[in-house]
Amino acid sequence: MSLRSPPLSAVHERADASFTDFGGWEMPVEFESIRVEHEAVRSEVGKFDVSHMGQITVDGPDAATLTQRLTTNDVTALDPGEAQYAAITNADGIMLDDTVVYRLPVDAADEFLFVPNAGHDGEMTERWLTERDDRDLDATVTNRTEEYAMLAVQGPEAPDLLAAETDADLRSLSQFEVTDGTVAGVDSLVARTGYTGERGFEILCPWDDAEAVWSALDCQPCGLGARDTLRLEMGFLLSGQEFHPVDEPRTPHEAGIGWTVKLDTEFVGRDALEGVAADGPEEKLVGIELVDRGVPRHGYDVTTPDGEAIGHVTSGTMSPTLGKPIALAYVPAAYAEPDESVRVVVRGEPKKARTRSTPFLDR
Amino acid sequence: MSFDVPDDLRYLESHEWVRVADGTAEIGITEFAQDELGDVVFVELPNEGATLTAGEDFGVVESIKAVSDVYAPVSGTVTAVNDRLRDEPELLNEDPFGEGWMLEVELDDESEPDDLLSPAEYRDQIE
């Protein structure tokens, strides 16, 4: 299968980026160095090409009803220009993906837009179409992943940087709000969302105009490597690692995003999650900080101090900001309280570690 | 991008170098290797007195994105370990042929480094 390329591939190649296969896309993983890019976002500002994220629009009289059926959050709570984080679950309440659902501004071409993870756009389009047809709903579902580029500008200086290039009123744009406007003269949607924990924006613009927008954002280009360390410091989930329908089947409650599940709405998976919400999940995702030297990685075992296996690491790294090894791991709920003493097994060696709440950084 | 390949060293295909003098060999990883790895955050090395066997792994280098074994270019006994790498693993990125050295080894066989890649051969490999 050939890899999909973002519209800025040639631009990234000229910038001497290294690339990686991510969700079927050949994406820049590193421009200068993960540490330099990470620090730029935490202290100043950086830009990301996240055009591998899916974009699916939903329009028509039943657009809200359809999206309500297939996401765990309450779509009807959204006014135009608002967005919400949600899980997409199967009938067993297992997460298939996580997403941001946008109710677009009134003068935008479409009514709803949701952003599934890289490589999930085809499957999610099918899911929406099948549900629409099964329920005989009146809605148009369009996979626009290769019509839109998605760029993120993130960091404490992001508002000033973007304000100089856009006619959108950024100061009145609150967290999880979206507006339309031009960026570098290109008609775009500008959302105050991100995956880094910093102030920042995500910009949706036409695929062919991506270079004009990218070039106008004069700051450190950042790859998926820094995007991963930044999100991990915040304890944000990565599709395919913290949850995956086959390799890591988890409910939103296990994954720590039970707050996105609105049981007073009707959605696929609701009945299965009602019991989980009432009883609490048996296992939970927890933050872990290593006390010993070592770097926790995906798949490493977590044990008690006595060596009893209790769970496994889903993501781990050396935190560039904290200078400490950090991880996310699933453990039994009894161990998911902060400050439990555990071990992470690194190449056969149990390393002392303690559980802690996320985010790892105060933001 | 072209990488420094000092003329006074010998090399292993897996990107380690040795600097031989008076029956001892200093060992490290090449500039090419550190660039491939990216920001090094952790280095695990054997203790003084440990024995190395040519071709076998003797340590681990971890960058933010990857874990990589390090292989012994020569056989011998470890006589010194660069303890600075414990708290300053970034020395491997900043000065891989100098302050980022890893081990000093007393060679079992002083002629063994002759079997390693010459600078020209290693340059060909990474180009």
Structure tokens at A20: 């990686």
Q: What is the pLDDT of residues A309-331, one digit of tens each?
A: 999 999 999 999 999 999 999 99
Q: What is the pLDDT of residues A98-122, one digit of tens each?
A: 999 999 999 898 999 999 999 999 9
Residue in chain A closest to B36 (alpha carbons) equals A18
Q: Which A-chain residues 98-157 have CB contacts (< 8 A) with chain B? A: none
- A32 touching B (Cβ < 8 Å): no
pLDDT score, position A337: 93
- A298 touching B (Cβ < 8 Å): no
Partners of residue B62 in chain A, C-beta under 8 Å: 295, 318
pLDDT score, position B2: 84
Long-range contacts of A259-264 (CB under 8 A, 24+ apart): A260/A72, A260/A73, A260/A84, A260/A85, A260/A86, A260/A87, A261/A72, A261/A73, A261/A87, A262/A72, A262/A73, A262/A74, A264/A74
The Cα of B63 is separated from the nearest Cα of chain A by a number of Å equal to 8
- Domain boundaries along the sequence of chain A: 9-52+146-234, 56-143, 282-356
Q: What is the pLDDT of residues A120-154, one digit of tens each?
A: 999 999 999 999 999 999 999 999 999 999 999 99
Q: Considering the domain A282-356 in this protein, what is its CATH number? A: 2.40.30.110
Residue in chain A closest to B35 (alpha carbons) equals A33
**Backbone CA torsion sign across A170, A173, A175, A180:** negative
Q: How wide is the angle at C-alpha A128 spanned by C-alphas A122 and A129, nearest 5°?
A: 90
Specify the DSSP element, H or E, that contains A203.
Answer: strand A200-206
DSSP codes joined into one string, A31-100 = SS-HHHHHHHHHHS-EEEE-TTS--EEEESTTHHHHHHHHSSS-GGGPPTTEEEEEEEE-TTS-EEEEEE
Asked if B64 lies within 8 A of A29 by C-beta distance, the reply is: no
Residue B48: Cβ within 10 Å count: 13
Band of pLDDT at residue A363, cut at 50, 70 and 90: confident
- A225 touching B (Cβ < 8 Å): yes
Residue in chain B closest to A37 (alpha carbons) equals B39
Q: Considering the domain A9-52+146-234 in this protein, what is its CATH number? A: 3.30.1360.120
Asked if A34 lies within 8 A of B41 by C-beta distance, the reply is: no
Strand partners, A309: A303
Looking up tokens 């779509």 gives A75
Burial of A10 (0-12, 13-18, 19+ CB in 10 A): exposed
Interface contacts A/B by beta carbons within 8 Å? 34
The Cα of A36 is separated from the nearest Cα of chain B by a number of Å equal to 9
**In the predicted model, is pLDDT for residue A1 greater than 70?**
no
Domains of chain B: 10-110 (2.40.50.100)
- Which of A361, A297, A286 has the alpha carbon at shortest distance from A323? A361
**Backbone CA torsion sign across A284, A299, A239, A195:** positive
Nearest to B38 among A33, A293, A325 (CB): A33
pLDDT score, position A340: 96
A63-70 vs A121-134: helix crossing angle, rounded to 10: 110
Asked if B42 lies within 8 A of A293 by C-beta distance, the reply is: yes
Separation between Cα atoms, residue A240 and residue A117, nearest integer Å: 9
Q: What is the pLDDT of residues A6-31, one digit of tens each?
A: 999 999 999 999 999 999 999 999 99
Separation between Cα atoms, residue A291 and residue A31, nearest integer Å: 31
pLDDT score, position A285: 98
Residue A293: Cβ within 10 Å count: 14
Tens-digit pLDDT string for chain B (127 aa)? 689 999 999 999 999 999 999 999 999 999 999 999 999 999 999 999 999 999 999 999 999 989 999 999 999 999 999 999 999 999 999 999 999 999 999 999 999 999 999 999 999 999 8
Residue A65: Cβ within 10 Å count: 19
pLDDT score, position A52: 97
* Interface ipTM: 0.87
Instruction: Report the amino acid identity of residue B82.
Output: N
Question: Which of B2, B36, B37, B41 best tests the A interface by mutation, with the highest count of A CBs <10 A?
Answer: B41
Q: What is the pLDDT of residues B58-93, one digit of tens each?
A: 999 999 989 999 999 999 999 999 999 999 999 999
- Which of B20, B17, B11 has the alpha carbon at shortest distance from B105? B20
Asked if A34 lies within 8 A of B65 by C-beta distance, the reply is: yes
Partners of residue A229 in chain B, C-beta under 8 Å: 64
pLDDT score, position A318: 97
pLDDT score, position A362: 86
**In the predicted model, is pLDDT for residue A162 greater than 70?**
yes
What is the rounded average pLDDT of the residues A230-250? 98
pLDDT score, position A269: 98
Asked if A16 lies within 8 A of B67 by C-beta distance, the reply is: no
- Which of A156, A154, A201, A162 has the alpha carbon at shortest distance from A183? A162
Asked if B64 lies within 8 A of A297 by C-beta distance, the reply is: no
Residue B127: Cβ within 10 Å count: 9
Domain A56-143 has CATH 3.30.70.1400: yes
Partners of residue B65 in chain A, C-beta under 8 Å: 29-30, 34, 225
- Chain B interface residues (partner A, CB cutoff 8 A): 1, 38-39, 41-42, 60, 62-65, 67, 86
Band of pLDDT at residue A267, cut at 50, 70 and 90: very high
- Which of B55, B17, B49, B54 has the alpha carbon at shortest distance from B34? B17
Asked if A10 and A28 count as a contact pair (C-beta separation under 8 A), the reply is no
Q: Residues of A annotated as binding site for substrate?
A: 202
pLDDT score, position B1: 62
